[in-house]
């Protein structure tokens, strides 16, 4: 019974993280983009294979943004605990943001291929 509770609580914590992630500005932008892409998918009647590609891309971009938000939270904690200035964690933040940008650009290019070609 304890094992079931641990598993259940794992889903609760993950759900909280997902909901908390959507409180951030960038995640809201990715969420809006996902709504627009899904709406367009219904309009153009994507095939099952193309829907799979679109949904995988949405999940990858959201996961990247959640990782980025996590890195930012850790950076804030390290900075504050050690009384550092913002610049002390700049490279870490920039690298994480660059990873999200890379994935978002790739997703946009693939989306063009899915919807146009």
What are 25-65's pLDDT values in tens digits? 999 999 999 999 999 999 999 999 999 999 999 999 999 99
Q: Cα(8)–Cα(2) distance, rounded to whole angstroms?
A: 10
- We find that the CATH architecture of domain 2-116 is Orthogonal Bundle (1.10)
SS (H, E, C) 13-24: HHHHHHHHHCCC
pTM: 0.88
- What is the rounded average pLDDT for all residues in the chain? 95
Per-residue pLDDT at 117: 85
Q: Is the dihedral of CA 85, 73, 67, 106 positive or negative?
A: negative
47: helix, coil or strand?
Answer: coil
Q: Cα(71)–Cα(92) distance, rounded to whole angstroms?
A: 8
């Amino acid at each position: 019974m304890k094992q079931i509770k641990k598993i259940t609580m794992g889903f609760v914590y993950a759900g909280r993280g997902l909901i908390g992630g959507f409180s951030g500005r960038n995640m809201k932008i990715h969420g809006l983009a996902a709504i627009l892409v899904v709406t367009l998918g219904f309009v153009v009647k994507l095939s099952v294979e193309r829907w799979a590609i679109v949904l995988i891309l949405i999940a990858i971009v959201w996961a990247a943004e959640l990782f980025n938000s996590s890195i930012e939270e850790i950076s804030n904690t390290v900075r504050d605990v050690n009384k550092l200035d913002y610049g002390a964690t700049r490279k870490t933040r920039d690298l994480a943001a660059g990873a999200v940008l890379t994935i978002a650009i790739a997703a946009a290019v693939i989306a063009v291929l899915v919807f146009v070609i």
